[in-house]
């Protein structure tokens, strides 16, 4: 389950050991996860595995220097 907290910040529940694909292009209709909308572009999803089960805050602005996690960059755009 994902919840849009602000325009560019998603709270998501991650499951330890599960692989996720974070949308890097911004076109996915399943934000913040990839749905294949990047096909034909220069973007590729970022695969990551949850180190622990927890609520995580994933980047929605696509400018985080700590992708897929939000680092607050959206507040400076």
Better pLDDT: 67 or 77: 67
Model confidence over 2-26: pLDDT tens digits?
Answer: 665 556 889 999 999 999 999 999 9
What pLDDT, on the 0 to 100 scale, is given for residue 3? 62
Kindly report, residue by residue over 13-66, the tens digit of the pLDDT.
999 999 999 999 999 999 999 999 999 999 999 999 999 999 999 999 999 999
Is residue 1 pLDDT above 60, yes or no? no
Q: CB within 8 A of 54, min separation 6: which ones?
A: 13, 14
Give the CA distances from residue 30 to residues 24, 42, 43, in Å, rounded to whole numbers and listed in that order.
12, 19, 16
């Amino acid at each position: 389950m994902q919840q849009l907290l602000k325009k560019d910040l998603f709270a998501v529940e991650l499951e330890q050991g599960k692989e996720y694909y974070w949308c890097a292009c911004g076109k996915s209709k399943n934000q913040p996860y990839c749905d294949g909308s990047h096909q034909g572009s220069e973007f590729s999803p970022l695969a990551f595995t949850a180190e622990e089960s927890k609520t995580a805050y994933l980047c929605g602005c696509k400018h985080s220097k700590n992708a897929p996690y939000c680092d607050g960059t959206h507040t400076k755009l």
